[in-house]
Amino acid sequence: MPKVVRFHETGGPEVLRLEEVPTPQPGKGEVRLKVQAIGLNRAESMFYHGQYIYQPNFPSGLGYEAAGVVEAVGPDVDKSWIGKQVSTVPSFKLTQYSMVGEEVIAPVASLGEYPENLSPVEGAAIWMQYVTAYGALIAIAQLKKGDFVVIPAASSSVGLAAIETAKAEGAISIATTRKSNKKAELTKLGADYVIATEEEDLVARVREITGGKGARVIFDPVAGPFLEKLAEATAPEGIIFQYGALSLQPTPLPLLTVLTHGITVRGYTLMEFTLVPERLALAKKYVYDRLADGRFTPKIARTFPFAQTVEAYRYLESNTQVGKIVITVP
C-alpha cells in the first residue's frame, strides 16, 4: 500500500507520521498521481501548527505541490492525461486534497504541465512561487521598467520568484533579509539591492536607493510590526501586498502614514488567480514562457528523501535555506 504523510493533532514537525493507506481511486474531476517530488511551503508548516487560515480535520494530510505522472483518471476526465508528466498548482484547500504521499489524488483543474527541460524536483518548485509573484506584481500592480519593488523574506522561494519577475520586467528589486549572511547569495540570484533589516535602517536605505521617493510596490509575507516600516518606505500612492503572516504577531495598520501618502495595503493570496480558470490560464502562460526561455529558473535549496519528511519540514522551519525545499519520492 502507498505511504502518505498525515497528522492527528497540531504541533511541530514531530506530529507528522508516515502511514500506509489503500491505493486511492480518483472520482469525478480527479486524477491519481504517482508522485516523484513534493515542494514544501510555509503554508503547510502553519497548517500543522494550527496557525493557518483554516484548521485541519483529523487525520489530516498536507501539501500543495507535487510533481509526478498521471496513472489513473476519474470517470469524466480525458484519458489523454494518463502518462503525462505534471505538477499541481495550489488551487484547493489542504482540507480537500493532500500532496505529500507516494500516490495522491488531485483535481484535474490543478494540473500544470511543465517544460521538458525541468526535472521533477524543479517541476515541484514552480507554481506556488511564480503564480504568487505573478498575481501581485504583474496582474495587479502591473510592474513596469524602472519601478522599485521591496521584497521582504527574499530568500524564500516566493521571494526569489519575485526577484526574477522584477528582473524580467526591468524593475528594480530591493530584497530584504534579517541578517547579512544571505546578502551575497541574494545578489548572485539577481537582487539589485539587499538590505539586512536587523543590521541596517530599512527606511533610510530604501529612501537612499530610490532617491528619496520610496518604492511603488511592496511584496510582504512578514506582516506584524514590520508593516509600519514598510509603509514608511512606500512611495506616495504605492501599494503594499500583504500575502503572509510569518511574524505571527498582531499587525497594526500605520494609519497616519497610509492616509497622508495614499498608500494601498492589500491582502492577497494566489488563490485569487488559481481558482479562476481565465486568470489561471494567463498566469500559467506567463510562467511557462519564462521557464521555457530561462528567465525563470527555480532555485532548489535542498532535497530530502520521502522517509525524511519530518526532517525536511524541520529544515523549512529553520529559516536557513535560500530557495525551495523538495522531497523526492522513489
Grid coordinates belonging to 127? 507554481
Q: Classify each residue of 53-67 as buried b or exposed e, where b means 16 or more C-beta atoms within 10 Å of its C-beta.
A: eeebeeebbbbbbbb
Residue numbers of the domain that contains 71: 3-126+298-328
pTM above 0.75, yes or no: yes
Place 248 in a pLDDT band, splitting at 50, 70 and 90. Answer: confident
CA–CA dist 39, 128 (Å, integer): 9
* CATH number of 84's domain: 3.90.180.10
Evaluate if residue 115 carries a pLDDT over 90: no
Place 81 in a pLDDT band, splitting at 50, 70 and 90. Answer: very high
Evaluate if residue 260 carries a pLDDT over 90: yes
Evaluate if residue 117 carries a pLDDT over 90: no
Evaluate if residue 101 carries a pLDDT over 90: yes
Could you tell me what percent of the chain has a pLDDT over 90?
A: 95
Residues 190 and 98 occupy one common structural domain: no
Residues 221-244: tens digit of each pLDDT: 999 999 999 999 999 999 999 999
Helix (H, G, I), strand (E, B) or coil at 11: coil
Q: Which of 64, 70, 68, 90 is nearest to 26 (CA)?
A: 70
* CATH number of 243's domain: 3.40.50.720
CA–CA dist 69, 79 (Å, integer): 13
Per DSSP, the residues of 142-192 read ---TT-EEEESSTTSHHHHHHHHHHHHHT-EEEEEESSGGGHHHHHHTT-S
Confidence at residue 201, expressed as pLDDT on a 0 to 100 scale: 96
Place 88 in a pLDDT band, splitting at 50, 70 and 90. Answer: very high
Residue 55 domain-assigned (yes or no) = yes
Cα dihedral 132, 198, 186, 329 sign: negative
Confidence at residue 270, expressed as pLDDT on a 0 to 100 scale: 93
Residues 121 and 134 occupy one common structural domain: no
